[in-house]
Amino acid sequence: WKRITLNHLAAKYDKGEPITMVTAYDYPSAVHVDNAGIDICLVGDSVGMVVHGHDTTLPVTMDDMLLHCRAVSRGASRSLLVGDLPFGSYEESKEQAVASATRLLKEGGMDAIKLEGGTPSRVIAARSIVEAGIAVIGHVGLTPQAISVLGGFRPQGRNAASATKVLESALALQDAGCFAIVLECVPSPVAAAVTSSLQIPTIGIGAGPNCSGQVLVYHDLLQMTQHPHHAQVTPKFCKAYGNIGIAVNEALCKYREEVVSQKFPSAAYTPYRIDQSSVETFI
Ligand code: KIV
Ligand code: NA
């Protein structure tokens, strides 16, 4: 059993070792995340934004998630695989939540699911999914599926009332049986307070260093969507660990130039031979 499990994560948490998490959406990104030794590979509904070009995560469907989950599950053999429940797939009832979570495991090949929490009905959904035998990560702070009520992609927990809400939501999700909580876009002291109040790991994104682990979006940390001449939307908290968008642009421009100037394909890239007698017959 070489797959990372909840037990491995709990052991890291107990020893104070940071937990690593990165998103992936397809076979090649999953292979990369897995090879890098990342603990948790998240098929995030951020796929709607970084892969499908939507402005929000709201349009992402269960069918979208299942397609991406299946591709990721074929590429990652070691990382724990977590799939996001998309907007509209778990809010109606606990039955709907359990059914959607079950599909991410049975049809998508995931090991666990993540849902955006906070409200009492989300906590009930999380509890029901855990009771159905599916491990759940909660997600509080900036919950992108709630931008309609949050008034946009805004940091949370910046005043006492909002910080209390973040903490209470995290505690409620822990009580519901979640094995970890993603803390998105909250001030570092709020993340520190939540982390020390919980008995399960917090995984921060835009939440400062005082979390039990960190998560970033694959395309953001690689600067993959840094398309020259296009608007860039890499979040402020994301460090660029690569410059892949620029590298892709340079490679494609070079290819175009070499085709136009007939430098490509040179003899080195023209591998197939025909024997001399056939050349004479054929040509
Ligand atoms: O969808 C996503 O990528 C996420 C992470 C930012 C935690 O939910
Ligand atoms: Na998400």
pLDDT of residue 231: 64
- Residue 54 in any domain: the answer is yes
- Residue 1 in any domain: the answer is no
Q: Are residues 272 and 160 in the same domain?
A: no
**Which string of b and e fits 67-98 if b means at least 16 CB within 10 Å?**
bbbbbbbebbeebbbbbbbbbebbbeebebbb
Q: Are residues 179 and 79 in the same domain?
A: yes
- Residue 271 in any domain: the answer is yes
Q: Are residues 143 and 261 in the same domain?
A: no
Q: Are residues 60 and 191 in the same domain?
A: yes
CB of 85 within 8 A of CB of 112?
Answer: no
- Residue 76 in any domain: the answer is yes
Q: Are residues 109 and 178 in the same domain?
A: yes
- Residue 251 in any domain: the answer is yes
Span 117-167, pLDDT tens digits? 989 999 999 999 999 999 999 999 999 999 999 999 999 999 999 999 999
Q: Are residues 236 and 255 in the same domain?
A: no
Weakly modelled stretches of the chain, pLDDT under 70: 1, 229-232
pLDDT of residue 228: 72
Domain end position, chosen among 242, 258, 273: 242
Ligand 1 pocket check for 205: Cβ under 6 Å: yes
- Residue 152 in any domain: the answer is yes
**Can you tell me which atom of ligand 1 is nearest the CA of 47?**
1
Beta carbons within 10 angstroms of residue 252's beta carbon: 10
Q: Are residues 224 and 176 in the same domain?
A: yes
Q: Are residues 162 and 263 in the same domain?
A: no
Number of domains comprising the chain? 2
Q: What gap in Å lies between CA 112 and CA 42, rounded to an integer?
A: 9
pLDDT of residue 225: 83
- Residue 137 in any domain: the answer is yes
ipTM metric:
0.99
Q: Are residues 253 and 163 in the same domain?
A: no
Query: Which residue from 37, 18, 33, 9 is spatially nearest to 180, judged by alpha carbons?
Result: 9
Nearest CA to ligand 1 atom 8: 44
**Can you tell me which atom of ligand 1 is nearest the CA of 216?**
6
Q: What is the CATH number of the domain that holds 156?
A: 3.20.20.60
Query: How many angstroms does the Cα of residue 116 sit away from the middle of ligand 1?
Result: 10
Q: Are residues 171 and 267 in the same domain?
A: no
Q: What gap in Å lies between CA 61 and CA 125, rounded to an integer?
A: 18
- Residue 136 in any domain: the answer is yes
pLDDT of residue 232: 62
Nearest CA to ligand 1 atom 2: 44
Q: Are residues 187 and 275 in the same domain?
A: no
The domain in which residue 276 lies consists of 247-282
Q: Are residues 179 and 196 in the same domain?
A: yes
Span 88-127, pLDDT tens digits? 999 999 999 999 999 999 999 999 999 999 899 999 999 9
From 21, 50, 56, 84, the mutation candidate for ligand 1 (largest count of ligand atoms within 8 A of CB) is 84
pLDDT of residue 282: 83
